[in-house]
Amino acid sequence: MPMKVAGPLGVCLLLAVVTVPAAQAQRARDEPRGKPGVFDYYVLSLSWSPQYCAGPAGSRDRIQCAGGKQFGFVVHGLWPQYERGWPQYCSSEPGPDQSVIDKTIPIMPSAALIRHEWKKHGTCSGAAASQYFEKIRQAYAKVKIPEEYRAPLKNVMVAPGKLKQRFLEANRIADAAAVAVVCSGRFLQEVRVCLDRNLNVRGCGRGVNDTCRDREIILQPVR
């Protein structure tokens, strides 16, 4: 029996079936939850900039990815966290002014990301924007990047466990649960370090885990 071709109405109904649940899921992810200042600890998320710059968004980002910048690990965010889960979009507190952005750009080289991180995560910190981004700069300064991973000029192949161990050693961290290595396929995406509210290293709560599945992962070179 020949297969019938759906008419315009059928196509519209099919699109509705696909897009409505996706839109609902996106709204659920973006819903405000939590109260400012009510959280258990922070996650300092350090992105491997060359991985971002190798993608479609990075190819259009002249601030972070233009040749010669040589960004390695940069700040993705400092996220207030619960022992299980996290708060987000906690208030409409005013965001960072240009002077705060200018101070933060050297370690978080995207004004758009800075504003987004404030709205989603910074508003849950209980601090004003200037204080929150000062805390980000303090947290970044406390974490030592192992020398061999600061600005490699060619691909680095490494076991994810060894990369994690080098971060533990460089920062004299005894608790392996305080650091999580996150990958996108075979490529390093982020290293996350868990800190208490005074920015001292502590073990991560549930949901902050290593995600790399390959025996060796790749750190793309700085640009």
Could you confirm whether 117 is annotated as catalytic?
yes
* Catalytic annotation, pick one of 76, 147, 148, 190: 76
Phi then psi for residue 134, to 5 deg, are -65, -40
Q: Is 125 exposed, middle or buried (0-12, 13-18, 19+ CB in 10 A)?
A: buried
What DSSP element (H or E) covers 53? helix 49-53
Q: Which two tokens stand for residue 67?
A: 């040749």
Could you confirm whether 116 is annotated as catalytic?
no
Q: Which two tokens stand for residue 145?
A: 């990047």
* Catalytic annotation, pick one of 83, 116, 117, 190: 117
Strand partners, 184: 187
Could you confirm whether 148 is annotated as catalytic?
no
Q: Measure the CA–CA gap between 190 and 193, rounded to whole angstroms.
A: 10
* Catalytic annotation, pick one of 31, 93, 116, 121: 121
Which residues, at least 6 apart from 119, have a Cβ–Cβ distance to it below 8 Å? 89, 95
Catalytic residues: 76, 117, 121
